Structure 1
Amino acid sequence: MIEEHTKIQTEEGHMETFITFPEEGGPFPTIFFFMDAPGKREELHDMARRIAATGYYVMLPNLYYRTTEHFELDFETFSNSDEMFELMSSIGNRMIVRDALTMIELAESDPNADSQNIGCIGYCMSGPFALSVAAAYPEAVKAAASIYGVRLVVDSSDSPHLGFNQTNGEIYIACAEFDDYVPPEMVTQVSEELNNSSANGRVELYEGVHHGFAFPGRGEYNKEAAERHWERVHALFDRNLK
């Protein structure tokens, strides 16, 4: 596997990005892996590697780059959780859509990447980012996955559900049964919005598990659900990008 850390120049700064892809067989379909709130860290690097190993060019950017070169939540003490919430509130869907354009441009310039076949994935905070990017660049983004993504249906002009009709790629939305950030009524609402749109996709409720079930380093980790989500994600990308 090839791995590198690079800084992507955007209009608003340098976005430090982890990139990984197989040594042989390229160019590879491109995956935008958007980090969750605790920041870009080795746990996510490992998840990016898992995707890349099956034949993808994966980009994992630090979405907090406008404020800090690096942030990582201290999971032992949570002493910097206030900083995390401040950083979360400093970014939004429109910002990430702008960032994604520079990521597309980098993929276009790299012979190892297939920039015509792009998939997006986001967890928690970044679930809506993945869906928003898919709607913003419908010709390039062929698949998008939101894993226990928050704020998918909100009273805002940039609410992700408003982009369903503009999305050409297949959408997969995974929700946990027990989720303080995504109440049951929001799961129902996003499912109805998706079903009533022209988009191709589905919402799947993971019964008996909690928000965060896919991260192996968390107390909420559920191996069975995590592996099911990997099965769904790999199938989604393989079906649409290869």
Structure 2
Amino acid sequence: MPDKMMHIPTADGQADAFAAFPDDGVRHPGVLMYADGFGIRPALRELARELAGHGYYVLVPNLFYRHGPAPVIELPEYIGEDARPAVFAQLMPLIEAHTAERVLSDADAYLEFLTTRPEVAAGPVAVTGYCIGGLLAMRTAAAHPGRVAAVAGFHGPVGADGPEALHRLLSTLTAEVHLGHAATDMTPEALVELDQALDAAGVDHTSEIYPGTAHGFTMSDTDAFDPAGLRRHWDRLLPLLDRTLAGR
């Protein structure tokens, strides 16, 4: 599976990015993949390559490129409980500086870059994201109705900004949505409220708590990793992409 590092022109410079795609001379649907806060690293490259192997061009931008190329901070090979405090002490200022304005400006650049790649098929794309990337995926899809056919977020803080912000976010969303929540992130009561908001906005969606999972369950280099949760993630993501991007 070919992969390469790319540079995406943005309003604030250039974002480095990882791309994985089939090497078969055929144009494939594009998927913009937002990393979790830990960023581009072997575990994310593994996810991107796996998805690309199912027939997609997958682009993973460095969210915090304004602070340097990936890896923006030094990460241990395994991000366990003991390492988390020091890692988050470095990450939180970067996350806090990544304002909604920056998110949307970057999303414009990422989608423009992705959809003009010669290896990417014409038409709508999909956006997926993990942790904070799940929220960024939803914001990107909402800002580009008609251009994004599917959006998926896993263990992401989709309703973190409150009910009013969630209502605004959903009001322009036209993509089909799947949200896979960690059991430690979402109560059944909160899930009902989120589903009601999605229904009220007319969003075609599935939204579920993945049993027994902790925040970060898709990430193989963390102590939250759950193999069953990762399999469930693929069982939901791949049919979503097949339904919305099939035939391109």
| Alpha-carbon spacing, 1:31–1:220, altered in 2? closer, same or farther (3 Å) | same
1:86 counterpart residue number: 93
2:139 counterpart residue number: 132
1:11 counterpart residue number: 11
Q: Aligned pair 1:206/2:213, yes or no?
A: no
Per-residue CA deviations over 1:189-221 (Å, capped at 9, x if unaligned) read 322211211111121111222111111222222
CA deviation after TM superposition for structure 1 residue 98, in Å: 1.6
Q: Aligned pair 1:119/2:126, yes or no?
A: yes
Q: Distance in 2 between matches of 1:160 and 1:95?
A: 18
Residue 192 (structure 1) aligned to one of 177, 181, 196:
196
Corresponding letter in the other structure for 2:97:
S
What is the aligned-residue RMSD (CA, Å)? 1.9
Which runs of 5 or more residues in structure 2 are unaligned?
Answer: none
Structure 1 segment 11-90 matched on structure 2, within 5 A: 11-70=11-70, 71-72=72-73, 73-74=75-76, 75=79, 77-78=83-84, 79-90=86-97
1:163 counterpart residue number: 169
Residue 224 (structure 1) aligned to one of 216, 223, 228:
228
Corresponding letter in the other structure for 1:16:
D
Q: Distance in 2 between matches of 1:87 and 1:156?
A: 25
Q: Aligned pair 1:109/2:113, yes or no?
A: no
Q: Distance in 2 between matches of 1:12 and 1:183?
A: 39
TM-score normalised to the size of structure 2?
0.89
Q: Match of 1:227, SS?
A: helix
Which runs of 5 or more residues in structure 1 are unaligned?
Answer: none
Aligned partners of 1:176 and 1:205 also within 8 Å: yes
Q: Distance in 2 between matches of 1:113 and 1:56?
A: 8
CA deviation after TM superposition for structure 1 residue 183, in Å: 5.3
Q: Match of 1:240, SS?
A: helix
Q: Match of 1:101, SS?
A: helix
Say how many residue pairs are matched. Answer: 239
CA deviation after TM superposition for structure 1 residue 156, in Å: 8.1
Identity, % of aligned positions: 27
Higher strand proportion, which one?
1
> Larger RCO: Structure 1 or Structure 2 (Cα < 8 Å, ≥ 6 residues apart)?
2
1:152 counterpart residue number: 159
CA deviation after TM superposition for structure 1 residue 151, in Å: 4.4
CA deviation after TM superposition for structure 1 residue 184, in Å: 5.2
| Alpha-carbon spacing, 1:224–1:24, altered in 2? closer, same or farther (3 Å) | same
Residue 97 (structure 1) aligned to one of 80, 100, 104:
104
Q: Aligned pair 1:177/2:183, yes or no?
A: yes
CA deviation after TM superposition for structure 1 residue 24, in Å: 0.9
CA deviation after TM superposition for structure 1 residue 83, in Å: 1.1
Aligned partners of 2:30 and 2:115 also within 8 Å: no
